[in-house]
Amino acid sequence: MALEHAILVSLSEQPASGLELTRRFDRSIGFFWSATHQQIYRVLARMERDAWVHARTVAQHGRADKKVYAVTPAGGRELARWIGSPMAGDPFRSEVAVRLRGASYGDRSAVLAEVRGLRAEHATRLAHYELLEKRDFPDPAALSGHDLDVYLVLRGGIRLERFWVGWLTEYLDAHGPYDGSDHGADA
Amino acid sequence: MALEHAILVSLSEQPASGLELTRRFDRSIGFFWSATHQQIYRVLARMERDAWVHARTVAQHGRADKKVYAVTPAGGRELARWIGSPMAGDPFRSEVAVRLRGASYGDRSAVLAEVRGLRAEHATRLAHYELLEKRDFPDPAALSGHDLDVYLVLRGGIRLERFWVGWLTEYLDAHGPYDGSDHGADA
DNA sequence: ACCACCTATGCAACTCGTTGCACAGAGTGG
DNA sequence: CCACTCTGTGCAACGAGTTGCATAGGTGGT
């Protein structure tokens, strides 16, 4: 549904091959949209068929040739059309929430341990994002246009990680009359 | 992947028919997991085949018969197993984020209008959740067990809606040198 | 009597996404 | 030279989820 458009955004920022796109989807774009390389290749093929992108084969130093994709005018029009189309809120689908709600039907202490691990992961990611923010956007007030958009999406990632850390902490506090530190391994 | 387990949680709380489950997935459970009735019927059939649930046909007043499903011991064991299995963080996949990042390739003012509408929706939902919190959980400190879990998941919904309202507000503030109020209709 | 609508269940076809595997060229180490 | 690994591209099969439609009984309006 939207992978095509995520790819159009990414290729508009900078043309890339399938594998390069895959790496982006494991990094910056991947903060809010993930995709495997197979899916990307398949969608790229369809987009090329529809003339939304155009491939240019590039011979490389020692490696295999790569096909570098760039957005065509038709692709740009499609992206602009989609950007302006009505926006639906993202459906929130959380396996974690299902588990938390069902915790009393399983091993509560195991769930608490998992939640501690999960909170640690989110805290790590949050720290990483905050580092990126400081490093890449020292003066947010000076930003505008696409740079500002990139910054604001990073801000969204930061806010989201804070949501997770906050919620999981509330969960642990409510269920654990223990202290916040771990007597065990994780966290 | 997890719809089976979401259904197990819901049926553990209270047995239900396919349509009743569908309504739950449009309400409380649906805050963090959505499913259409077709999908629910299909998964229920598979779960019955695997003996995770057992159906009892119930004749009704005037309406058509319904099949009320309840969790079997085997289903309870499966749920307990899943609850205790390693928990992966929920992948965050946001079409909204893709649009915000790509806004400069389309009509910026249209995006801003959409974002204002979206923020209004999230604010409405937040108010609704906060009402539920006050009405159903006047004394959270007294909760324990499954009731506490239900409350904490609602708290997650509240925190998530606050995330959305906060982020979208930051986006609008950064892009709109206008005031926060709307000269138009939404917001 | 007829039509429209509601509850309740379900099938079929399709899209989206994941997983596992394949293949080809090129560099690296034994 | 052979096996291994890395990059780069791709197919096939499957599972998850959505959309559209079908059916069957009951209820209420005209």
Residue B187 has pLDDT above 50, yes or no: no
Distance, CA of B59 to CA of B92 (rounded, Å): 43
Return the nearest residue to D27, CA–C1'.
B62
In single-letter form, the type of residue at position A139 comes to: D
Give the number of other CB atoms < 10 A from CB of residue B2. 17
Tell me the nearest-neighbour CA distance from A116 into chain B, angstroms: 11
Cα angle B118, A92, A105 (rounded to 5 degrees) comes to 150
Residue B111 has pLDDT above 90, yes or no: yes
- A-facing residues of B in 109-128 (CB < 8 A) are 110-111, 114-115, 117-118, 121-122
The pLDDT score that the predictor gives to residue A60 is 74
Nearest to B80 among A2, A105, A114 (CB): A105
- Residue percentage of chain B with pLDDT more than 70: 92
Would you list the DSSP string of chain A?
--HHHHHHHHHHHS-B-HHHHHHHTTTTGGGT----HHHHHHHHHHHHHTTSEEEEEE--SSS--EEEEEE-HHHHHHHHHHHHS--PPPPP--HHHHHHHHGGGS-HHHHHHHHHHHHHHHHHHHHHHHHHHHHH-S-GGG--HHHHHHHHHHHHHHHHHHHHHHHHHHHHHHH--S-SS-SSS--
Give per-10-residue mean pLDDT for chain A (187 aa). Answer: 91 94 87 90 93 88 82 96 91 92 95 95 95 96 94 96 98 78 45
Which class for B11: exposed (0-12), middle (13-18), buried (19 or more C-beta within 10 A)?
buried
Residue B33, Cα to own-chain centre: how many angstroms?
4
The pLDDT score that the predictor gives to residue A62 is 64
The pLDDT score that the predictor gives to residue A183 is 47
Q: Which helix (H) or strand (E) holds B57?
A: strand B53-58
The pLDDT score that the predictor gives to residue B28 is 81
The CA distances from residue B122 to A43, B17, B66, B162, in Å, are: 32, 31, 35, 8
pLDDT digits (tens, 9 = 90+) for B28-71: 888 889 899 999 999 999 999 999 999 998 877 666 778 999 99
> Whose CB is within 7 A of strand C?
A 1-3, 34-36, 38-39, 42, 61-64; B 17-20, 37-38, 41-42, 44-45, 60, 63-67, 91, 93
Residue B181 has pLDDT above 70, yes or no: no
pLDDT digits (tens, 9 = 90+) for B70-92: 999 999 999 999 999 998 888 88
Tell me the nearest-neighbour CA distance from A102 into chain B, angstroms: 5
Architecture of the domain defined by B3-84: Orthogonal Bundle (1.10)
Residue with tokens 């209004």: B120
Helices (H), chain B: 3-13, 18-25, 37-49, 73-84, 95-102, 108-136, 145-175
Q: Confidence band (pLDDT; 50, 70, 90) for B26?
A: confident
pLDDT digits (tens, 9 = 90+) for B167-176: 999 999 999 8
The pLDDT score that the predictor gives to residue B59 is 78
The pLDDT score that the predictor gives to residue B31 is 86
Q: Which residue of A has its CA nearest to B5?
A: A98
Contact of B56 with B72, CB cutoff 8 Å: no
Q: Which residues of B touch A166 (CB under 8 A)?
A: 159
Give B98 CA → D20 C1' in Å: 29
Locate the domains of chain B by residue range.
3-84, 95-175
pLDDT digits (tens, 9 = 90+) for A27-78: 888 888 989 999 999 999 999 999 999 999 887 776 677 899 999 999 999 9
Nearest to B105 among A1, A79, A107 (CB): A79
**Minimum-distance nucleotide, CA of B2 to C1':** D16
